[in-house]
Structures are given as C-alpha cells and as structure tokens.
C-alpha cells in the first residue's frame, strides 16, 4: 500500500476549521443517541478528503463517518491516501450522487447492519483543483487544458458529455443554458457562434476560440469572466447540479436528528440562492434555527493563500 505522504493533494480545502467546528458544535451530542443507534456524520462532497479527515479525527470515537462523491477518481484517491484511517472501520465511502443521500444512508444501514442517528451533514459545493486542472475532462478554460475533451461529467457513468450538448441542442436551448446557469449577457451570441463552428466544439481549445469570436473586443479580465461563466453553465447542465442540490438539501435535512446541523459551503450565486431560500423556509416553518445569522466568508489570510476561496460562503442551520 502506498505511503500517505507520497500522494500529493492538489486541492486546498476551503474553510476547513470553520465548517468542521460548526458541524461538531451541534446542540445534539452523540452521547444522546440511543444504544440501538450509531451517531453518524456525513460529508456529502468528499473531494480529496480534507473535511472528512478532520471530521474523523475530531468527532467522538463512537461516531461513524459517511463520505459521498460521484467522482470515482476522488473515491480512489482517498482510498489510496487514507487507507490507514479507512482500515479503522469508522469511515465509509460511497461513489454516488449526493441527491440520493437518503437512499445511500438506508443502503449503508443494511450493509453495516446498524441504525444511524444523523448528527450533521456537510456540503462543500466547490470544484476541486484536481478536477479543474488535472483530470482531463475539460472543466477549466485554462490554456494548459486546451487539448482536453469537453466532457465535464462529474460522474463518468453519465451518458451525456458537454460536447454532446453543444452538438444536439439548438441555438435557443444553448443560449438559455448559458444565460440561466452562467448569468452571461452574451449568451445568445455565444450560442450562435457555437452552432456556426463547422468542425464541432469538441475540446477546451475549440470552446475558448468560440468565446473569443463571440464577444466584442475585450480586456483579458472580461474574457476570463466570460469563459468562467460559460464553463460553469455547461458543467451545471451536464451534471444537473442545481436540481441535485435542491433534492439533496431536502433529503439531508429530513435525515437529520433533532438539533443536528446542516452546513453548506457554496461558491456561486445560483447555489447560494438555493441554500439561503431552503434555510429560510425551514426557519419560517419552525423547523430550524439559523446558526449563521450572517453568511461566513473566508478571512483575508485564507484568501491570500488560496484565491479559489474568495467566493466561498458558509451557511449553517440546526434542526428544531
């Protein structure tokens, strides 16, 4: 088995301390679980295992940790890097979409032949640096990724790639995706240019060329923002991210025990609106208490070390 130190982590976990502390500070103590159930914490977005590792090390030893990720590369990386922690038997990994979180818990209960009491659920909705820069799936517009295929599937078991969407959808449909999920003002012109690209948009280089042709003469900063929005829009569409998030929040909250906590780190306005709306609905219906009255953001020190943290927002709610 590989030594943990030999496996390089490419991703810097955002708001690591804050998220874990808020989750574990829930008013319901694991000691309150009945003898017939086992306290469970869930990391619904495993990534490279940053939040999960800290949760495992800080939660009471009687607790179990369930970590979920739809990207099999993330699962395999964590299996290799943290094999010693996994061997302890308290950490369960599942390769699945977090939209199925309730089904996953039921299945694990059957597999483990035990009943769980869920004390906390964490969602970190950001892309990992490994996915953006190294996984050859076209998630990033960086020139170093130019030859990567426009795949953009988080779960490679899905059938439709980003390049398939660009080939099949018409101008109106593509413009709607780019406008709705990317909040991009040049959505219609970009969509028309995509459909006019005779060779077909297959790679990062192709899509970048299309975007450059579609938008007016612009500064490098404007071009970068436009690329970011278009890539975000296609990734969301390919993976049905917003629908999955809405479904996952509802299911995760239903799983929580009384006074258990749900913590969510979001990175763009579309996600944050869904989270904020859901939390406010629970509070309004008397089903929850906001732990973070004001959204929590990374401090200047963290942002200076990790620029990808600058847009992160942490919200926490406790079930009542």
Shared domain check, 271 and 188: no
Shared domain check, 212 and 109: no
What are 127-157's pLDDT values in tens digits?
Answer: 877 777 767 899 999 988 899 999 999 999 9
Listed residues 185, 211, 240: the one ending a domain: 240
Domain range for 231 is 136-240
What are 11-45's pLDDT values in tens digits?
Answer: 678 999 999 999 999 876 666 666 789 999 999 99
Shared domain check, 209 and 231: yes
Can you give the pLDDT at residue 128? 78
| Both structure tokens of 163 | 């390049």
CA 112 vs. chain centroid, Å, equals 26
Shared domain check, 108 and 31: yes
Angle at 52 between CA 253 and CA 262, to 5 degrees: 20
Shared domain check, 270 and 203: no
The count of domains in the chain is 2
262 DSSP β-pair partners: 121, 317
Can you give the pLDDT at residue 217? 72
- Average pLDDT estimate for 63-73: 96
- Name the pLDDT band for 7 (thresholds 50, 70, 90): low
Shared domain check, 186 and 176: yes
Can you give the pLDDT at residue 216? 79
Check if the beta carbon of residue 150 is closer than 8 Å to that of residue 163: yes
3-state secondary structure of 226: helix
Check if the beta carbon of residue 33 is closer than 8 Å to that of residue 56: no
Say how far apart CA 53 and CA 7 lie, in whole Å. Answer: 15
Say how far apart CA 312 and CA 194 lie, in whole Å. Answer: 31
Listed residues 240, 269, 288: the one ending a domain: 240
Listed residues 240, 270, 287: the one ending a domain: 240
Does the pTM surpass 0.95? The reply is: no
Shared domain check, 258 and 181: no
Check if the beta carbon of residue 54 is closer than 8 Å to that of residue 72: no
User: Above pLDDT 90, what percent of the chain?
Assistant: 81
Can you give the pLDDT at residue 60? 93
Say how far apart CA 314 and CA 311 lie, in whole Å. Answer: 10
What are 247-302's pLDDT values in tens digits?
Answer: 999 999 999 999 999 999 999 999 999 999 999 999 999 999 999 989 999 999 99
Q: What is the CATH number of the domain that holds 53?
A: 3.40.50.150
Shared domain check, 225 and 92: no
| Both structure tokens of 112 | 């483990």
Shared domain check, 251 and 125: yes
Say how far apart CA 272 and CA 72 lie, in whole Å. Answer: 26
Shared domain check, 257 and 232: no
């Amino acid at each position: 088995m590989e030594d943990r130190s030999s496996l390089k982590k490419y991703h810097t976990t955002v708001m690591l301390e804050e998220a874990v502390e808020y989750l574990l500070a829930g008013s319901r103590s694991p000691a309150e679980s009945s003898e017939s159930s086992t306290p469970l914490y869930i990391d619904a977005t495993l990534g490279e295992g940053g939040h999960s590792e800290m949760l495992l090390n800080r939660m009471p030893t009687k607790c179990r940790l369930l970590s979920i990720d739809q990207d099999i590369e993330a699962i395999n990386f964590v299996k290799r890097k943290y094999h010693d922690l996994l061997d302890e038997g308290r950490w369960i990994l599942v390769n699945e979409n977090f939209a199925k979180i309730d089904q996953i818990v039921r299945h694990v209960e059957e597999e483990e032949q035990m009943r769980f009491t869920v004390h906390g659920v964490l969602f970190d909705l950001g892309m990992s640096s490994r996915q953006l820069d190294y996984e050859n799936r076209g998630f990033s517009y960086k020139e170093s990724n130019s030859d990567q295929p426009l795949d953009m599937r988080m779960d490679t078991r899905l059938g439709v790639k980003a390049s398939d969407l660009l080939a099949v959808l018409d101008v109106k449909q593509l413009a709607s995706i780019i406008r709705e999920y990317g909040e991009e003002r040049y959505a219609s012109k970009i969509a028309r240019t995509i459909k006019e690209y005779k060779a077909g948009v297959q790679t990062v280089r192709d899509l970048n060329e299309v975007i450059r042709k579609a938008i007016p003469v612009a500064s490098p900063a404007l071009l970068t923002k436009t690329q970011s929005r278009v890539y975000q829009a296609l990734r969301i569409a390919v993976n049905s991210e917003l629908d999955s998030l809405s479904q996952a929040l509802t299911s995760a909250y239903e799983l929580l025990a009384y006074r258990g906590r749900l913590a969510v780190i979001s990175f763009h306005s579309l996600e944050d609106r869904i989270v904020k709306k859901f939390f406010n609905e629970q509070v309004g219906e008397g089903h929850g208490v906001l732990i973070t009255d004001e959204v929590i953001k990374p401090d200047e020190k963290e942002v200076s070390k990790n620029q990808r943290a600058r847009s992160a927002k942490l919200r926490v709610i406790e079930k009542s």
